[in-house]
Each structure stands twice: as structure tokens, then as C-alpha cells.
Chain A
Amino acid sequence: MVHTARLVAGAAGVFLLAVWFLLSAVHQYRSGVLLRRLRRRDVLFLLPSWTYFRHPAVMDCVVLTRDRLDSGELTPWTRHRSYDVNLGLRPFWNPDRRVRYGVFDACMQVTRRGRLPSVTALADQPAYRALINFAGEQPREAGSVARQFMIVDSVGDSANGKPSTFFVSPFHDLR
């Protein structure tokens, strides 16, 4: 009886794996109506995409922040501390990698690949609210009352040219 149950369960499992593989294969090269519908509902990211690095990250979506002090003075733009990675440890231990990827995803949604949205349109968007939270994680200076963030690219140490600015937020109160 147990053997039969395992046989049935195993067969069902393998059938699902086969369907998953077929969808994976088709998903790499096709973008039909069915696949687009599946992708919209794929909140668990089950449909793999193996061609991510086809378009190398010409842009770094990097978040900088600055504060407005109670004196009215503005602090200099500072790169978020999550980008200060120990390069020696990074091959083995890179705990903030996932949040930086998430920030990149959120930046892509906010900037919509070059079309700058109005801030009022963004205010309720989860991506924008997540970025406000991310910016808020930066340590505060004494007297900081508000913070704004900026999304730029190419601030790497060996970058060519100056960073391009994608988006600058208004100031948000620091609670």
C-alpha cells in the first residue's frame, strides 16, 4: 500500500517536473499570451529565466541619500552603507546581496527604464515605499529631520564618466 502510494505520488511529481521543464524551455525563447499571463501570476518566481546576463548591467541602480538638518543645512550625498562590502569576504559571505538585488528590482520599477514618473504617481507604489525604507536604514546625523534619496548609475570605482541620475525623491520626514 505504501509502495503504491509512493508510486502514484512519485508519478504525479515527475509529471509536474516534466511540465515545469517544458514551460522553462519555452519561456526562454517565446513570449506568447499564455506565458505572459503565467509570468504576471508567478509570484513565487517558478518560471526560470536563464538569459539574465544577456544584457550586462550597464546600469548600477545605486541609492544615495542625504539629510536635511533642523538648521536647514543639507548633508552631502552618501552611498547607502549596504554597498560597503568587504571584497575579501564577498566570495564566501555576502549577506546584503539579496537586498541590493531587491533594490535594483525596485529601482527598475520606479524609474521604468528611463521614463521618469511623477512623485504623486509613485507615492503608493510598493517599490517606492520600499526604497524610502531602504534609504531610511542609513545612520542619521544629529539634527536630521528629513531625508531624500537619489537613484544613480555607474558609481563603481572604475566607472567611465560621471554617474547618470535616474530619479531624485522629495524629502521624507524621518520618524
Chain B
Amino acid sequence: MSLSADTAAGLSSTIIGLGILLSSLAQLSARRHLAEGGFFDWQVIRARVSWTREGAVARRLDRLFTYPPVLWIIAVQALSAAVLALHPSAALTLAALGVVLATQLLLRLRTQWGTDGADQITLIVLAGLFCFYLAPPGTLRTASLVFIAAETVLCYFAAGLSKLLDERWRSGMAIPVIVRSLEFGLAPVSARLDQNAGRLLCWSTILWEGSAPLFVLLGPGPCLVYLGLGFFFHVSVAVVMGLTDFVWAYAATYPAVLFLSDLIA
């Protein structure tokens, strides 16, 4: 299966745009936490870093990050993400990517806490795609997609290796512990997860994550199978653990991974 660079980038743009749009709507829905007296009250958050606490930069950020002006950042992000998802033209996509990248970074500075792996992968996809559409057609565009793919492979491989080195994962304890937790758990699943099932799931996760480089090297066919399993994995994690954003963030990297696999083959 052959995927051109433009097709891969277009697919990634659409998927990540949809994910960020949903995420932005969720942030707007939970906007009370950004308000005065909320967990993410700017008057509290700004004290974490010296240059947001005082000085010329701090004063400018105050105008942007207090409530309700901060909602405009999220709204602009949502609109730009919608444009990204529609992927109307290369120029508009580049503009939308620039805006979304800027709003993502601003919102990270604004909230400081609560960032997870999906946010990190999202930023990697956005940065890679921004470079793709900034550069003229050719090697630089290829390199931009390779960056996204390489970070994804690194992510899966590092995660798999770190789990392999941990006794709780090797013994099969880790997943039962996670699904018992309030934040990442689901009682009906937890009740059915015996020791053997736990061991099977843990080792499946270790082997699937750790084998990422291998399946990319084997070529587009095996890579597609691997990514299909990946999509199933992330959807399962969304259902059981509530990690919704991970589906969109990682799915957005898959066209680039497939592109890399085809390039190597």
C-alpha cells in the first residue's frame, strides 16, 4: 500500500484537526475551572513560573490569560482546528496549523498542569505538519513526515521497553491495578480481570508496543496490520480508561508511520 507525502499529511491534518476541535469544545465545556476561584485560576497558576509572575511579559500575559479573555484562545483554536480538519488548501492548512500550534502552546502555559501523552503527541504532529506545509515539495517535506513517524515509533518502543523492565508489568499486575483506579478504571472490567487475563493483556501490550520499529521495517503491509492493532488498542483504552484524546492524537500519526514504512521498503 503506497501513500504519497501529500496524502499522508492531508490525512494527518484532518484527524488531528478533528481531535483538537473536540478537545477545545471539552475545554470550553469545563471553562469554570479557568475562572477566578477555579483550579486553573490564572492568579494561582502564574505564580509557578517567575516570568509569568512579574515583569513586562507577565503583564501582557495577564491581559490574555485572565478569565474570560482566555476563552477566546480556546475558541480561536477550535475554529482553526475545524479549518485544519477540512483541509481546504495547502496555504489555509499552513495558516490553521500556525494558529493551532500557537494556541496549544499558549494554553499549556496558561494551565501548566494536566498535560498528558496525547498532548505531547498532538504537538509533535502539529509541528511536523507545520514544517511540511512550510517547506516546498521535496526532501524537507519527507523529513517532516519522518519526524512524526520517528517520534511515534520512539514513543511506542520506549513505552514497551520501560514496561518490560518493570516487575508489575512482567507479572501481569499492572493492568489490573490501573483498571481498579478511580481515574483510569472501569468496575465491570476490573471485576472480570483475573490473574491470567491480566498477564495476557500486560504481555500483549509490552510486545505490541516494543515491536513498533520491527513492523515499520517489515514494510507497508505488516505496518498497516500493526497500526490497525494500534487503533484497536487506543479505542479500547478510550473505552476502559477514558483517554479519549489519545485515539485522535495517535491516529493522526499513523499516515506518517505508513509513509515511512513505504519509504524504507
Residue numbers of A with Cβ under 8 A of B are 3, 6-7, 9-11, 13-14, 17-18, 20-21, 24-25, 28-29, 43-46, 48-58, 60, 62, 83, 85, 87, 90-106, 124, 126, 129-131, 133-134, 136-137, 154-160
CB closest chain-B residue, reference A98: B114
A41, B156: Cα distance in complex, Å: 26
A-facing mask of B81-113, CB < 8 A → 1, else 0? Answer: 000000000000000000000000100110111
When the two chains form their complex, are residues A90 and B244 in contact, meaning their CB atoms are under 8 A apart? yes
Contact B184 A13 (CB under 8 A): no
Which of B150, B155, B177, B235 meets A58, CB within 8 Å? B177
CA–CA, A45 to B48, complex, Å? 14
B68 near A: Cβ within 8 Å? Answer: no
**Distance of B159 from chain A, by nearest CB (Å):** 5
Within the complex, which residue of B108, B119, B178 is in contact with A56, where a contact is CB–CB below 8 Å?
B178
Across the interface, which residues of B come within 8 angstroms of A92, CB to CB?
Answer: 238, 244
For residue B136, CB closer than 8 A to chain A, the reply is yes
Interface presence of B79 (CB below 8 A): no
* Interface size class of chain B, counting residues whose CB lies under 8 Å from the partner chain: 35 or more
Instruction: Say how far B263's CB is from chain A's closest CB, in angstroms.
Output: 15
Among candidates A20, A25, A53, residue contacting B163 with C-beta atoms closer than 8 Å: A53
CB distance from A143 to the nearest CB of B (A): 20
Contact B163 A136 (CB under 8 A): no
With contacts A91-B242, A99-B33 taken as known, whether A6 is within 8 angstroms of B111 at the C-beta atoms is no
- A95 touching B115 by the CB < 8 A rule? no
Binding site for A on B (CB under 8 A): 26-27, 29-30, 32-33, 37-41, 44-45, 47-49, 105, 108-109, 111-117, 119-121, 123-124, 127-128, 130-131, 134-136, 140-141, 143-144, 147, 150-151, 154-156, 158-159, 162-163, 165-166, 168-169, 173-175, 177-178, 180-187, 190-191, 235, 238-239, 242-244
Chain A residues positioned under 8 Å from B144 (CB to CB): 10, 13-14, 17
> Which of A11, A48, A95, A104 is close to B117, meaning CB atoms less than 8 Å apart?
A48
Q: Please name all residues of chain B whose beta carbon is closer than 8 Å to the beta carbon of A94 when the two chains form the complex.
A: 26, 242, 244
Complex Cα gap A92–B158 (Å): 27
- Whether B158 contacts A51 by the Cβ 8 Å rule is yes
Which A residues are CB-close (under 8 A) to B190? 156-158
Given A95-B26, A106-B113, A158-B191, is A14 in contact with B143 using a C-beta cutoff of 8 Å? yes
Flag if A10 contacts B131 (CB, 8 Å): yes
Question: With A and B bound together, what is the CA distance between A95 and B244 in angstroms?
Answer: 10
Q: Which 5 A-B pairs have the closest CB atoms?
A: A10-B135, A102-B114, A102-B113, A13-B131, A51-B162
Q: A51-B162, A93-B244 are in contact. List 4 more A-B contacts (CB 8 A).
A: A10-B135, A52-B116, A104-B183, A130-B113
CB-CB under 8 A from B151, the residues of chain A are: 21, 24, 48
